[in-house]
Amino acid sequence: MGRRFGPYGGAYVPETLVPALEELDRAWQSSRHDRAFRTELDRMSRTLGGRPTPLYFARNLTRRAGGAEIWLKREDLVHGGAHKFNNALGQGLLARRMGKPRLIAETGAGQHGVATAMIGAALGLETEVYMGEVDMERQRPNVDRMRLLGAKVHPVRTGSRTLKDAINAALRDWIANVRTTHYLLGSAVGPHPFPSLVADFQGVIGREIRRQSVRSFGRLPDLAVACVGGGSNAIGTFHPLLHTKVAFLGVEAGGSRSGGVGAASLSRGKPGILHGSFSYVLQDRDGQVADTESISAGLDYPGVGPEHAWLHDRGRARYIAVRDRDALRAFHWLAEEEGILPALEPSHAIFAAVGEARTRPSSDRIVVTLSGRGDKDLGVVLGASG
């Protein structure tokens, strides 16, 4: 069943995919100790991706909160405007290492599709992206971006014509073309080894935080905060700091309605199997996957990575849900106080971090991962406040 985090994780997939997952696991394991691979990953992270990203002291936001210092890990400055690049680059290089000339991906809001298309172009890999027809209409600019980057975008017309149907279509493609094709999964979810290798590639966030916080304020932070959709930017933030005294806060989407589930799988879901892995899943009373709802497309997913489930159960990380309107408030705070337009996903984390800062002394240090920039969300923000 593959690697587990306590009872969570595993690989619940059709028999035909097992060899591909094993091949991927071997390629990833061997790449970790391969100097040439790591050098190339590091070179492209710097020269194409713009890493390392800065750790920024949000002085005005700190003053507004009153309490602990708030520092921002600026993943919004990564190429493409979000942390998704880190994972797409790592997996793209793994695909090349396995001799697979073709990438497929599925995308909901289109952010992961764009990151995959960027990497496909840069590495010379053929790229095809599955996207629900409804999502294609809602996210037209990202469809245009993917096509301009040379990717083929396949509209998915089955079911609800959204992300979960796109995932099924991508899985069918993978089963049929597994010899030539790497399925570039976009978050720390899915069957083993995806949750672990995505955490490895996104771990660059936490490794940089470790170095930069010592350089900036002489020690590690007291608390690290990140938003959780599938959980990749959060596990990338937490993982390299797990064996320290740093406390962790994961922030899920609470949605618009009080008493609704939003997309808060850990806060409001229960254990179950989704997309090849055992973790927390939002379910209705019959155990069917529940309909999620969030102002931020990137957090709007009914599952969460298995490592988060285990951190949750052990109490090593705390998880809370922040509502749409509070994320919007935090969006405006960061825009007005710091001159940064954040994506709506990390706006959830900003809101939680400000709340935490208020309860802590000014000697405490909080690092928040600002997972992406907000240009993509201006329509939603203007619509909400208009």
If we measure between CA atoms, which residue out of 229, 250, 249, 251 comes closest to residue 323? 251
Site string for ligand PLP, 288-327 (x = CB under 6 A): ----------xx----------------------------
If we measure between CA atoms, which residue out of 300, 303, 382, 305 comes closest to residue 348? 300
Q: Among residues 106, 128, 208, 307, which one is catalytic?
A: 106
If we measure between CA atoms, which residue out of 372, 292, 293 comes closest to residue 110? 372
State yes or no: residue 228 binds ligand PLP (CB under 6 A).
Answer: yes
Nearer to ligand PLP, 31 or 347 (CB): 347
Give CA–CA dist 89/92, Å, rounded. Answer: 5
The angle formed by the CA atoms of residues 181, 82 and 321, to the nearest 5 degrees, is 105
Least Cβ distance, residue 285 to ligand PLP (angstroms): 27
User: Site size for ligand PLP, by CB under 6 A?
Assistant: 19
The residue behind tokens 């210092």 is: 69
| Contact of 250 with 228, CB cutoff 8 Å | yes
Going by their DSSP bridges, the two strands 365-370 and 69-74 should be labelled as: parallel
The residue behind tokens 């492209």 is: 44
- Tell which positions 72-91 bind ligand PLP, by CB under 6 A: 82, 84
State yes or no: residue 139 binds ligand PLP (CB under 6 A).
Answer: no
Interface with ligand PLP (CB under 6 A), residue from 113, 195, 221, 230:
230
Interface with ligand PLP (CB under 6 A), residue from 52, 191, 206, 231:
231
Whether 371 sits among the annotated catalytic residues: the reply is yes
Nearer to ligand PLP, 203 or 346 (CB): 346
The residue behind tokens 């279509």 is: 169
Sheet strand arrangement including 4-5: 4-5, 8-9, 277-281, 270-274
Least Cβ distance, residue 186 to ligand PLP (angstroms): 7
Pick the stretch among 158-166, 222-230, 282-290, 311-319 that binds ligand PLP (CB under 6 A): 222-230
Interface with ligand PLP (CB under 6 A), residue from 53, 86, 91, 111:
111
Active site residues: 84, 106, 371
**Site residues (vs ligand PLP, CB under 6 A):** 82, 84, 111, 187, 227-234, 298-299, 343, 345-346, 371-372
